[in-house]
Structures are given as C-alpha cells and as structure tokens.
Chain A
Amino acid sequence: MDPITIISQLVTGLSIASILLLVALGLAIIYGATGVINLAHGEFVMLGAYSAWALQTFFNMSLFESLIFIFIIVALLGWAIERTVIRHLYARPLDTILATWGIGVIAQQAIRLTAGGELRYVEMPKQLADSVLIFGVEISSFRIFVLIFAATLFGLTWYLMYRTTFGIKLRAITQNPEVASSFGINSNRVFGLTFAYGAGLAGLAGALISPLKSVSPEMGTTYVVDAFLIVVLGGVESLMGTVLSAIILGELSSILSFYSNDTIAKALVLLAIVILIRFRPQGLFSSKVRS
C-alpha cells in the first residue's frame, strides 16, 4: 500500500469509528449503569433519524437546528419506556433482552404505519456538503464534523459521569445500590434520567447517520449488535474502553475491507470480538466486572 492509501484507509476507519462511538456511547451508559441489555437501542437510533427527516420535511429545519429537538424527543421517549417497562425488570437482566426487543418491534411498526416503510433521505447541511484535502486525501467535511461531534459528545458524557453530582450518584448506585440509597440517593430517578440521556445520545447518532445512509424502519437492527459488541469489548463501566474499542473496530473493518470486501471484513471483526469476549468477558480495558 502506498502512503496515500494507508492514510485514506486510516481516515475511513476513524470515520466508521466515530459513527460506532456515537451509537455505542448511549448503550455503554445504560448497560454500564443499569445492566439492562437494551435491544431497542437501535430503534432509538432509527427514531432519531426519522425525527431528523420529519423536522426537515415538515418544519423545514436544517440538520443543525433540529439536533437539540431530536435529543429531547428521543430522550423523552427513552424516559417514558424506562418508567413504564424497564424499571420492573432490573432484577431480571435476561428478560430485559426480551422486553426491549418487543419495544423495538413496536417502534419499528409504529414508524412503518405512520411514516411508511419506504426509504427516506435526509439532506446534508449545505455548509458541509463539500470535501477537504488532508495529507493529500480527499475527505467529506460532513464526516469530519461527525468525528468532531462524536468526540465532543464523548467529552461531555465523561464530564457528566466523573465531574458532576449526577455522575457521582450514578456511579455510587452502580457500585452498591443499598449503600447509595441509604445515603439518600433516589436510584429510581437517577436510572430514569440515565436511560433518557442514553436514548437521547442514540437519537443524535441516528440524526447524524441519516445524511450518510438511507433511513428505514429496520436501520436500527444493524447497529445494535455492533454497538453491543463494542460496549462489551471495551469493558462495562469503562467509557475510555468504549472509545478505544470503537476505534479498534473502525480501523479493523477499514483495513480488512481493503484486503477482502465489506461483508467478509465485518464477519471477521465480529468473529474476533466473539473470541475476545470468550477469553476476557470483563472487556479489554476494564479491571473489574459488574457482579
């Protein structure tokens, strides 16, 4: 490979990684804090994409303007789902897989019945429709924006978890719910907000993916498996691990797809993760594991 190809593959890898990180970040928080396997996470992504489409089509909003609304819409939905369904299942983590899959089916079907099953397209913001040259490689500005956005959201989330009272409460509950509640922490409220925040992040991910890929009711299913593997690979309760494993995965798929094709690359990456989980279920970058 000549240097230009190497750089271009690396940049493609980073771009894939930033999208994966956006999707996985919300999942990492929800799974890390509550132990809930949220199979509806892909549907939150999908709802975010559809919100972007709806706001653009019916309210003529550009993607930038709509981001904050999308976050609020999907976060509210996530909060409502946590209040009505998820909170009854904290003692039965395996059953959360089933219930959230059911919620995913409902969400997909609700969209199919209202917005229709056909593919939808979201316009890219005009300011970012061009591309820039970096080290002699042409890269779409929007992809760079996604990369920066993902990094910013990660920074915000990290700050929220490790530098605010909310984060301290959440981590206290995760470590020991009984002791935390005896210190007056309302775990119900904290879990509800955590779920809402995670869902909101997924919504933003969907909104940012929407100009790059076509929007369909089934789009979420493809992301949820990848996102889960990233979270588990990175190590539960380790935000840094999530970032690193997203980067590893992104680069790995980009490099492997250079040598074979996208499908084989994806299959090989998944297989590699399965083997890693088998030997390090606690993840690559975490020393302790949720009991």
Chain B
Amino acid sequence: MSAVIDEKSKLVINETSKRYSNTKSQIIIYGIVCALIFIVPSFMDNAYLLNKFSTYLIMGMLAMALSLSWGYGGILNLGQAVSFGLGSYCMAMALKLRTVPIHTGAEGLPDFMVWNNVETLPLIWQPFHSLTLAVFLGIAVPVVFAMLVGWFMFKGRITGVYVAIITLAILVVVNLLIIDQQRITGGFNGITDLAQLEVFGFEFDAYSSSAYYLIAIFLTLSLFLALAITKSKTGKILQAVRDHEDRVRYFGYDVSHFQIFVFAVSAGISGLAGMLYTIVMEFASPTFLGVHLSLSIVIWCAVGGRQSLIGAMLGAIFVVGIQGSLSESETFLETWTLVMGFIFVMVVLFLPKGIAGAFESLAARIRQKN
C-alpha cells in the first residue's frame, strides 16, 4: 500500500512542478476564487450569516499563512495561533480603550482592570490609544516574536520534529502567561465588550458587509503577497530548503535567513488575521492562542493541501464552514467532529498532499491521456 502511495506522490511532484511553472493560469484561478468571495454579500443579506462567513475567511487566511511556512518552507509550526492571538489582543486593546468605561467614565480604565484593583493603565496598554499604532503593532509584534523564535531555532539548525515540539511548547507558554497576567490581559475571560472599529468616521460593524469586505480585501492582498513570494527567487530557494536543506547550504546560502523570513511573513499574515478576527468576534480570548485552534489550523491546511496556498485556504473555509453550519444542532456538531477526525486520518494516510494535491494529480493524469 505505502509503496503505491510513494509512486503516486512522486508522480504528483513531477506534475506539480510542471504545472506550477504555469503562473498565468494560477493567477487566473486565484483571481476567480477571490472574485467569488467578493460577490458573496450580494447574495446574502443575513447579517448573522455574513458575520459567520467572515470568520471562515479569517480561518482560511490562517491556513494559507501556515501553508506558506509549512508547505513551501518545510517548517511545521504547531504554534501558528501565537501570532494570531497576539494580533487579536493588539486590536482588542485598541478597541477596548475606545469604549467608555462604566465605572470610571471616559479616558478611564477598562472594566476588568477596575475589578482587579488596577489603579493606572499599565504601560503596555499606553500605545494602544492610537489606532494606527495598534494596527502597526498587531503585525509588528507577531513578526518580531516570530523572528526571535525563528532566529533561536534556525540558527541552531533545528529541523523537523523538534521545530514542531518547540513551537508547540512556546504556544503553551504564551497561553499560560496571558491567562496568568489577569490584571493586564483579562485572564481567562479575555478582553470583551469592545468598541466598533471606526476609521475616518466610517464604522465597520461586525454584522455588516463592510466588515466582510474589509476581510475579503486583506485576504486577497495576503493571498497574492504569498503567491508572489512563492514565485520569487526567495520562494524557489525556500522550496529547495524544504526538499534538501543540506544541498542549499552547499551552494553557499544561509538557510536560516530564508527560514526566518518565511516564518516571519507567515506570522505577520496570522497577526493581521487575528486583528480582523477581533473586529468580527468583538472580543479576544486566550482560546485564540489555544492548542486546539493551533492544531486545527494544521488540520485544515493538510486537508486542503499544504503545498497549495489556495488549497489550504479553501480547505479551512470548507471545514470550518461545515462545522459552523452544523453548530445549530449540538448532536450534529458532535458527530461531525468525530467524522472530521476520521476524514483527517484518511487524508493523512491516502492523500499526503491534501485535496488540492489529489486534484492536481487527477488533472495531470487527464492531460497525459490526451
């Protein structure tokens, strides 16, 4: 059985490299998918559903970011949710400061700080009075954090399984710290009761098409940014690092620079996704940096196809979408989770390149016949 799979995957590798040279058709496919995402609101005037759809798109963005570092860079990051959570907390802090606290009035302390007997606004909260600075930090903090972790791991030539273990452990550490620092972060409850995002007097209501379009725009931008990276020379070298790290090193490249780069870009996109998530969910919680979410991202990415940006993205949107549409009924959702686990094991066993990979090998076979 496994020999058969190996043969198949070899075929897929050959065919994908041929196919991936065809950049133009790829841009067209990506463009069509993004266009489809943009026309969704014209068919749907249900604000509640639109809000749900927005969250699916954000999960798609996360899976796409992981595909960039995992599928192209070979870095299995089990702590992808760290950057997501950091981004979402940055946005939540900014939006929290825009509310008028009941206890202390305007310019006062956030409510949970009052409950925790905090007297003055902690220093770490000060920059978030400015929304511009908050948005900058929402991307910069995850990027810098990823660069530090990446520098720490890749300069020491840590690879494979150890990357997975270290990133997972770091995720747990950050999660524990956020829960513990209740006076600053709101602890278990996170940061709730946020103001709505308002830019130049324009309000992005979480339950409206404006928030949806905001997310769709950033999803499209980051998708094409990621595509551009994979097509660039850096992207090619990254894929070479993924396949044969040592050979790339023999050519005189500093492999760690490329790994740190893709790790940081992936974190930046996740941070952006985190900020958008806070806007549509209207809160930030430690579960955003939980082990469960972080490993779910890996699952979506693997099911969709880790070596295809759009595959990973659509994989996440569909899996989360099905989950979301079943969540009305408790028993359905429970059974679905069971089925999902089963499907996931099957995909790992029989479709190592995910559904996108299966499509590609199918297309290749059809082309071969003609």
Q: Is B105 an interface residue (CB 8 A)?
A: no
Which residues does chain B contribute within 8 Å of A103, judged by CB atoms?
341, 345
Question: How many B residues touch the partner, as a band?
Answer: 35 or more
A85 to B341: give the CA distance in the assembly, Å: 13
Question: How many A residues touch the partner, as a band?
Answer: 35 or more
Instruction: Give the shortest distance, in Å, between A59 (CB) and chain B (any CB).
Output: 26
Q: Is B246 an interface residue (CB 8 A)?
A: no
Q: Are A91 and B2 touching (Cβ within 8 A)?
A: yes
Which residues does chain A contribute within 8 Å of B5, judged by CB atoms?
88
Picked from B302, B338, B349, the residue with its CB within 8 Å of the CB of A106 is: B338
Knowing A105-B344, A106-B342, A267-B173, say if A232 contacts B165 (CB, 8 Å).
Answer: yes
Instruction: Give the shortest distance, in Å, between B107 (CB) and chain A (any CB).
Output: 32
Knowing A94-B164, A270-B173, say if A99 contacts B179 (CB, 8 Å).
Answer: no
Which residues of chain A in 148-204 are interfacial with respect to chain B, using CB atoms and an 8 Å cutoff? none
Q: Is A271 an interface residue (CB 8 A)?
A: yes
Q: Is B295 an interface residue (CB 8 A)?
A: yes
Top 9 A-B pairs ranked by shortest CB distance?
A105-B341, A106-B341, A102-B344, A102-B345, A109-B338, A263-B180, A267-B176, A99-B348, A109-B337
Task: Name the CB-closest residue of A to B180.
Answer: A263
A228 to B176: give the CA distance in the assembly, Å: 18
Contact with B along A220-238 (1 / 0, CB 8 A): 0100010011001000000
Picked from B172, B338, B345, B352, the residue with its CB within 8 Å of the CB of A92 is: B352
A112 to B336: give the CA distance in the assembly, Å: 12
Q: Is B158 an interface residue (CB 8 A)?
A: yes
Q: Are A267 and B177 touching (Cβ within 8 A)?
A: yes
Which residues does chain B contribute within 8 Å of A225, judged by CB atoms?
168-169, 172, 291
Which residues does chain B contribute within 8 Å of A101, judged by CB atoms?
295, 298-299, 344
Which residues does chain B contribute within 8 Å of A109, judged by CB atoms?
334, 337-338, 341
Q: Is B162 an interface residue (CB 8 A)?
A: yes
Contact with B along A269-284 (1 / 0, CB 8 A): 0110110011101000
Main SS at interface, chain B: helix
Which residues of chain A in 245-275 are interfacial with respect to chain B, using CB atoms and an 8 Å cutoff? 261, 263-264, 266-267, 270-271, 273-274
Instruction: Give the shortest distance, in Å, between A232 (CB) and chain B (any CB).
Output: 6
What are 29 sample pairs from A and B whose C-beta atoms fall under 8 A apart? A37-B161, A37-B164, A37-B165, A85-B345, A93-B160, A94-B76, A94-B164, A97-B76, A98-B298, A102-B342, A102-B344, A103-B341, A105-B340, A109-B337, A109-B338, A112-B334, A113-B338, A228-B168, A229-B169, A261-B180, A263-B176, A267-B172, A267-B180, A270-B172, A271-B173, A277-B165, A278-B153, A278-B156, A278-B166
Q: Is A110 an interface residue (CB 8 A)?
A: yes
Which residues of chain A in 61-86 are interfacial with respect to chain B, using CB atoms and an 8 Å cutoff? 85
Which residues does chain B contribute within 8 Å of A104, judged by CB atoms?
341
Q: Is A128 an interface residue (CB 8 A)?
A: no
Q: Is A89 an interface residue (CB 8 A)?
A: yes
List residues of chain B with CB under 8 Å of any chain A CB.
1-2, 5-6, 76, 78, 152-153, 156, 158, 160-162, 164-166, 168-170, 172-173, 176-177, 179-180, 291-292, 295, 298-299, 302, 334-335, 337-338, 340-342, 344-345, 348-349, 352
Main SS at interface, chain A: helix
Q: Are A102 and B166 touching (Cβ within 8 A)?
A: no
Instruction: Give the shortest distance, in Å, between B272 (CB) and chain A (any CB).
Output: 26
Task: Name the CB-closest residue of A to B350.
Answer: A88
Which residues does chain B contribute within 8 Å of A91, judged by CB atoms?
2, 6
Q: Is A130 an interface residue (CB 8 A)?
A: no
Q: A221-B291, A278-B158 are in contact. List 11 more A-B contacts (CB 8 A).
A: A37-B165, A85-B349, A101-B298, A105-B338, A228-B168, A263-B176, A264-B177, A264-B180, A270-B176, A274-B170, A278-B156
Which residues does chain B contribute within 8 Å of A88, judged by CB atoms?
1-2, 5, 349
Instruction: Give the shortest distance, in Å, between A52 (CB) and chain B (any CB).
Output: 23
Task: Name the CB-closest residue of B to A91.
Answer: B2
A89 to B348: give the CA distance in the assembly, Å: 9
Q: Is A123 an interface residue (CB 8 A)?
A: no
